[in-house]
Amino acid sequence: MAIDYKKELETAAKTMILVHKPDTLIKMIVRMIIEKVKVSHAGILLYNKEKNSYILTVSRGPVGLRIPAGFARMDMHNPLIRFFKERKNKLIFNNDCLVYDKGKKFLKRIEDSDLKQLLLQSLYQMEIFGVVACIPSYYGDENLLGILLLGKKKDGATFGSDELNFFIAIAQDVAMAIRNAQLFSELELELEKKRSLFYHTTIALAAAIDAKDHYTHGHTQRVTDVSLEIAKKLGEKNKKEFNEQFLEDLHIASLLHDIGKIGIPEAILNKQGPLNPEERKKINEHTNIGVTILQPIRELQNIILGVKYHHERYDGLGYPDGLKGEEIPLIASIISVADAFDAMTSERSYHLPKSKEEAVEEIKRQSGRQFDPQIAAAFIKLFREGKI
Domains and CATH numbers, the chain: 5-184 (3.30.450.40), 195-384 (1.10.3210.10)
Among 174, 167, 93, 88, smallest CA distance to 139 is for: 174
| The pLDDT value given to residue 7 | 63
| The pLDDT value given to residue 22 | 63
Distance CA 315, CA 328 (A): 10
| The Cα angle at residue 323 between residues 360 and 203, in degrees rounded to 5 | 60
Among 364, 283, 369, smallest CA distance to 318 is for: 369
Distance CA 85, CA 81 (A): 6
231 neighbors 250 (Cβ within 8 angstroms): yes
Cis previous bond, 320, omega within 30: yes
pLDDT digit of tens for each residue in the chain (388 aa)? 566 655 655 565 556 555 566 667 777 777 777 777 788 888 888 888 888 999 887 777 776 656 666 678 889 999 999 999 988 877 777 777 899 998 998 888 888 889 999 999 999 999 988 899 998 888 766 688 888 888 888 888 888 888 888 778 777 777 777 777 767 777 777 878 877 877 777 777 777 777 766 556 678 889 999 999 999 999 998 888 899 999 999 999 999 999 888 888 877 877 777 888 898 899 899 999 989 988 888 878 899 999 999 999 999 999 999 999 999 999 999 999 999 999 899 876 566 788 999 999 999 999 999 999 999 999 999 999 998 8
This prediction's pTM: 0.57
| CB-based contacts of 136, cutoff 8 Å, min separation 6 | 84, 89, 96, 97, 144, 146, 147, 148, 171
Maximum alpha-carbon separation in the chain: 101
